[in-house]
Structure 1
Amino acid sequence: MTTDTITVGWIGAGRMGAAMASRLARAGEDVTVWNRTRAKAEALSDAGCKVADTIADLRGLDVVFTMVSTPADLVEVLTGADGLLADPGHVPGAVVDCSTVDNETSAAMRAACAERGVDFLAAPVSGNGKVVAAGMLTLVVSGPEETWLRVAPLLGHLGKGATFVGEGDLARLVKICHNVMLGVVTQCLAEITVLAEKGGVPRAAFLEFLNDSVMGSTFTRYKSPAFVHLDFTPTFTPVLLRKDFDLGFAAGHDLDVPMPVAAAAAAAVQAAVSTGRVEEDFAILLDLQARASGLVLKPEDVAVDDGLSGGGTR
């Protein structure tokens, strides 16, 4: 099976799913999309995607990707009454799940696929819709290595590349570790940015220096416009981040790994949730840190390079 002949199904055309499916179609792949709200799938027609009337329309395809919001959604679209696996005699060759779900749900879906002779890859992602559009999405993959080798060319269309970490659901653990670090780094960035500003340094100047130093990263640069402009339009909410901390601590308990720094960052995330600011971006950790420090932040009208758009944003 090569990407010249492979047929691809896609379940889930939300912000991330739509961006990823579009990249596959624009790379010349044969992509058919299903979404609970059909209009979201139809919006991808301009990118070259076909639209499925029902999930059943995807059952005969070579590979079906899933990108849904919750574990319950994944269970429903795969093993529900009208799900992808509902007809054991008519199933796809492989399922590649890019959602962020817990190990238990992933293992259950892997087992359900195995019962029907369907290969299953866990392939959670690092990034958001803007990162996908910039071609900088990364994926971590686990499952049968033979299946990974077959679908790797497809995954290569989605961004910078994918890393295979082994069998089973190891990719889920890697994604949880990643998101725990996401929270820790953001809280640390909030603390040092507030420290610098309270001492008289503009946020834009401090972050420009940091991003150009060895301590800067793709993430700190990408988050800088939100910090400078106080734009907390959600890409990832404190509630979702709290969930990932909880999953990380559960893994730490099971594997006997102490996580004191993560625990401190998780307390800050919980404080954000407790204030009721649950629909903004988790970058509000900056604002909460400032308030705890007796500092009232104001937006800075300065162009800031986010490292993705190829120029400064305001």
Structure 2
Amino acid sequence: MAPTEKPTIGWIGTGRMGAALATRLLDAGYDLAVYNRTRSKAEPLAAKGATLVDRPVDLADRDVVFIMVSASRDLEAVTTGEGGVLTDPSVAPRIIVDSSTVSPETSAEIRAAAAARGSEFLATPVSGNPKVISSGKLTVAVSGPREAFDRVEPLLRALGRGVTYVGDGELARLVKIAHNVFLGVVIQSLVEVTVLAERGGVSRAVFLEFLNDSVMGSAYTRYKSPALVNLDFHATFTNVLLNKDIELGLAAGRQLGVPMPIASATGMLVAEAIGAGYTDEDFATLLLEQARRSGYQVVSENTPVDDGLAPETRS
């Protein structure tokens, strides 16, 4: 792969996030070959110009292979399992870029397996969802060999607006865990103050408009506002997933000697929401539990609310 050449790309995992990210690489003109366990889920990418393959190992001759699968066991299966991308004895990708949701321990194991085959491995957890991706606002934390990062940075910047190299090894996994703990703390704080304003007679839409226009507003508070105003809890991230990440954050805090009392309290409230049955809906359902504790049932305000995620235009 000469510095002036576009690398050939392999992509493993075309769920909601994977398909949206792979599409951005296709739109940027990269040669993309794709594997997904359920082939039909990858077929829309073929219609956009991707080549479909039958096994992860069929991507072993690609310069760079991205992976986005659901869990540690899935990452093991598509890399070192039967037909995995690292199982061809004659060839392996130069760089593996993994954005899966996995433990640091599994990540380290796959990093070692990749090194044994002469492949470099980058941990690249992302922050966002398909709508964030389509708007060009995805962010990525990266850890692993700096040289490998420098080579794939243009690819990562094609995926979104923010790419941060955080160091070697599995540090990006810790960064993502800390990010998601903060996500939980912020949403719980947001539903508390929103319910406080509503109980005092201020509509949620009006309160959130004020907050989002103030210095306390953010892309995140604006993005969650439609769900809080109109009770649209189509899942972007569930309480179950949030609870898992808060627990990982608290475990990291114990290991590193960092007390996290606010995160701990938030974790208990998220667990309470799960106990109330809010397992498949978006974690913005924490609003419903906060209203219940405040003695009333919240209703939709049926008000148009800008989520701040209009796609960015490219010049």
Task: Please indicate the TM-score interval, normalised by the length of the shorter structure.
Answer: over 0.9
Q: Which residue of structure 1 lines up, in the alignment, with residue 242 of structure 2?
A: 241
The answer as to whether partners of 2:13 and 2:67 remain within 8 angstroms in 1 is yes
Separation of aligned partners in 1, 2:267 and 2:276: 14
Q: Is residue 65–residue 97 contact of structure 1 (8 Å, CA) maintained in 2?
A: yes
Superposition TM-score, scaled by structure 1 size: 0.97
Q: Distance in 1 between matches of 2:150 and 2:295?
A: 54
Q: Aligned with 2:296: secondary structure?
A: coil
The 5 A counterparts of 1:166-205 are 166-205=167-206
Give the SS at the match of 1:141: strand
> Does structure 1 residue 61 correspond to structure 2 residue 87?
no
Query: Is residue 2:281 matched to residue 1:280?
Result: yes
Question: 1:57 is aligned with what amino acid?
Answer: D
Q: CA deviation at 1:3?
A: 6.7
Q: CA deviation at 1:86?
A: 1.6
Q: For residue 302 of structure 2, what is the aligned residue in structure 1? A: 301
Equivalence map 1:44-83=2 (5 Å): 44-83=45-84
Which secondary structure does the structure 2 equivalent of 1:139 belong to? strand
CA offsets per residue over residues 48-72 of structure 1, 9 Å max, x none? Answer: 3221122121010000000011111
Match of residue 271 from structure 2: 270
Match of 1:117 in 2: 118
CA RMSD of aligned residues (A): 1.1
Mapped pair 1:7 → 2:8: yes
Aligned equivalent of 1:29: 30
CA contact (8 A) 1:30 1:49 kept: yes
Q: Which moved more, 1:46-55 or 1:215-224?
A: 46-55
Provide Cα deviations, 1:7-27, integer angstroms capped at 9, x if missing partner.
000000000000000000100
Verify the 8 A CA contact 1:141 1:148 in the aligned structure 2.
Answer: yes
8 Å contact kept, 1:193–1:206: yes
**Structure 2: which amino acid aligns with 1:223?**
K
Cα distance change on mapping 1:295 and 1:199 into 2, 3 Å: same
Deviation at 1:276, TM superposition (A): 2.0
Q: How does 1:118-133 map to 2 (within 5 A)?
A: 118-133=119-134
Give the whole-Å Cα distance in 2 for the aligned partners of 1:120 and 1:213. Answer: 41
Structure 2: give runs of 5+ residues left out of the alignment: none
Matches of 1:295 and 1:4, distance apart in 2: 61
Match of 1:98 in 2: 99
- Which position in structure 1 is the counterpart of 2:20? 19
Distance in 1 of aligned mates of 2:203 and 2:73: 44
1: CA distance between counterparts of 2:87 and 2:185? 41
Q: Deviations over 1:249-276 (max 9, x none)?
A: 1110110000000001111110011112
In structure 2, what is the Cα distance between the partners aligned to 1:25 and 1:128?
18
The percentage of aligned residue pairs carrying the same residue is 59
4+ residue stretches of structure 1 with deviation over 4 A?
Answer: none
Letter in 2 for 1:123: T
Give the Cα–Cα distance (whole angstroms) in 2 for the partners of residues 167 and 211 of structure 1.
Answer: 36
User: 1:102, 1:247 within 8 Å by CA — same for their partners in 2?
Assistant: no
Determine the C-alpha separation between the residues in 2 that align with 1:247 and 1:101: 11
User: Is contact 1:124-1:139 (8 Å) kept?
Assistant: yes
The 1:34–1:197 alpha-carbon spacing in structure 2 relative to 1, beyond 3 Å, is same
| Cα distance in 2, alignment partners of residues 176 and 107 from structure 1 | 16
Give the counterpart letter for 2:292 in structure 1: R
Give secondary structure in 2 for the equivalent of 1:80: coil
Count of residue pairs brought into register by the alignment: 310
Normalising by structure 2, report the TM-score: 0.96
Task: Report SS of the residue matched to 2:121.
Answer: strand
